[in-house]
Structure 1
Amino acid sequence: MTSSLTLPPLDPPAPRGSLLVVGVGASHGLGAAIARRFAAGGYPVAVAGRNAPKLEATAAELREAGASVVSVVGDASTADDARRFVAAAQELAPLAIAVHNAGSNRPAPFLEVSEQRFEGHWREHALGGFHVAQAVLPVLVTRGGGSLIFTGASGSLRGKAHYAPFAAAKAALRATAQSIAREFGPQGVHVGHVVVDGGIEGDRLLSLRPGLKDQQGPDGLLNIAAIAEAYWTLHHQHRSAWTLELDLRPWAETF
């Protein structure tokens, strides 16, 4: 008896278009790792961030590895800069995937949190994600599809002590991702939200807590290349089985 079931192709489609990563700093960071993974897969890459020396150093490394890359200095929490980021990617090739990876975390006891700090977290994560989405989505809809992925955190699911500004901002970003996924999925745009649940083994965390890697043990922190591989997988999923939310954590992390 012959089955009528038709399975989607197992291999991802050939690269089409460019990648934009908003929130790229040091070479040993998640934004740079995402850029490296897609560049290795044949995508021209636009990297954007606020720290010009770190951004250009990362871009130079990508060029030395043979990538087609452009770097753009700016702040995603402003609409004009978000549009500039998209335009830069479009100059390389029609935009196929954008990643919002921007935003910091500055824990503090709640009664010591200023209005400025609370608003600053919101601007970096929630408002920045909003502006990037508004700049990216019309482009992806016009070209007939693509992906928009947000880097989230476990703070979007639960607010820990001393993390109120970060948790509030990440929760807003998660809700935004959920809303636009429901609106733009039927228009061919795959919106994903990646909950990073644990410490990332990158320059930012290890510079603040240099002994943490040894303390956590082998693979006790999230490897940046492994996280980047998850973004690659999300972008290449068959549209009959898209993932909206993916949570990643080290094997030894409690949750």
Structure 2
Amino acid sequence: MNERKAVVIGVGPSKGLGAALARRFAREGLTVYVAGRTAEKLERVASEIRAAGGRAIPFAADATVESEVISLFETVSRDPGELDIVACTVDSNRRAPLLETSGDMFRELWLQNAYAGFLVGREAARLMVNQGHGTLFFTGASASLRARPPFTAFAAAKSALRALAQGMAREFGPLGIHVVHVVIDGVIDGDRARNAFPEFVAQKGDDGLLDLDAIADTYWALHNQHRSAWTYELDLRPFKESF
């Protein structure tokens, strides 16, 4: 049996998008490389996947450091099987009016949202081009499409990520690689939101936030699209969300 592999980078808490995607891909029989900056969180997610009967390998890597991203994909390339999926969920946001946005803050947001996507996308493409297939996911945000203060710096970085995804889709789609930019237009129901702004979460009520497993189901459905009808960009939002 041909072993299949997936890489999810940007994995944090167990109740987060990266972890949800890793669990979904593992449930389908893929060996999942669970990558992110915090080894303790990675091991927790990997252990949960193993306990459910899946295969998961934690790999500590900072997606803004080129050598660490290269090392991750070199490790993946040496292990048996073909690389079916790479999901880049690296994300960082800061609230700041433009006149209070320092150069360092703008640069950090660009590194974490756009540059990280470039490094992950480039190294994923190196492996997938040789195979002639694979799905590469970039996770975007409302800010990918429209810039609103006080998140202008974040929007600039997410717009850059979207441009990267679009260029890669045009370059590598004809080579068999399905590049997808998923716009998360709303708040994800995970630890990040519940810890940072619990009042807002309570105000949204039932189904007012994006369900982690529902998002992961959509990613899996996109991966399974026939290449005669590929989606490049898809936006996801709760039914209550205005747009």
TM-score w.r.t. length of structure 2: 0.96
Aligned counterpart, 1:23:
10
Bigger CA drift: 176-185 or 206-215?
A: 206-215
**2:32 maps to 1:50:** no
One-letter amino acid of the counterpart of residue 161, structure 1? P
Aligned counterpart, 2:169:
181
In the alignment, structure 1 segments of 5+ residues that lack a partner are 1-13
One-letter amino acid of the counterpart of residue 73, structure 1? A
SS at structure 1 position matched to 2:198: coil
**2:47 maps to 1:60:** yes
Displacement of 1:127: 0.4
**2:229 maps to 1:241:** yes
Structure 2 distance, partners of 1:105, 1:164, is 10
Equivalent of residue 32 in structure 1, options 4, 16, 19: 19
Q: Contact 1:70–1:88 (CA<8 Å) still a contact in 2?
A: no
Equivalent of residue 171 in structure 1, options 159, 165, 175: 159
Displacement of 1:111: 1.1
Residues 199-233 of structure 1, C-alpha deviation per residue, up to 9 Å, x if partnerless?
00011111001122321011000001111111101
Equivalent of residue 200 in structure 2, options 212, 216, 220: 212
SS at structure 1 position matched to 2:35: strand
Q: Contact 1:29–1:203 (CA<8 Å) still a contact in 2?
A: yes
Displacement of 1:246: 0.4
Equivalent of residue 200 in structure 1, options 188, 193, 198: 188
Aligned counterpart, 1:75:
62
Displacement of 1:15: 8.4
Q: Contact 2:193–2:201 (CA<8 Å) still a contact in 1?
A: no
**Any runs of at least 4 consecutive aligned residues in structure 1 with deviations exceeding 4 A, and if so which?**
none
TM-score w.r.t. length of structure 1: 0.92
Structure 1 distance, partners of 2:126, 2:119, is 12
Aligned counterpart, 2:109:
121
Structure 1 distance, partners of 2:3, 2:213, is 22
Q: Between the two proteins, what is the percent identity of the paired residues? A: 49
Displacement of 1:89: 3.1
One-letter amino acid of the counterpart of residue 46, structure 1? Y
Aligned counterpart, 2:76:
89
Structure 2 distance, partners of 1:95, 1:82, is 15
Equivalent of residue 127 in structure 2, options 139, 153, 161: 139
Structure 2 distance, partners of 1:86, 1:61, is 23
Structure 1 distance, partners of 2:74, 2:9, is 13
Alignment of 1:154-169 (within 5 A): 154-169=142-157
Aligned length: 242
SS at structure 2 position matched to 1:211: helix
Label 1:188 to 1:242 Cα distance change in 2 as closer, same or farther (>3 A): same
Structure 2 distance, partners of 1:143, 1:248, is 30
In the alignment, structure 2 segments of 5+ residues that lack a partner are none
Structure 2 distance, partners of 1:106, 1:43, is 34
SS at structure 2 position matched to 1:28: coil
Displacement of 1:79: 1.7
Q: Which has the larger radius of gyration?
A: 1
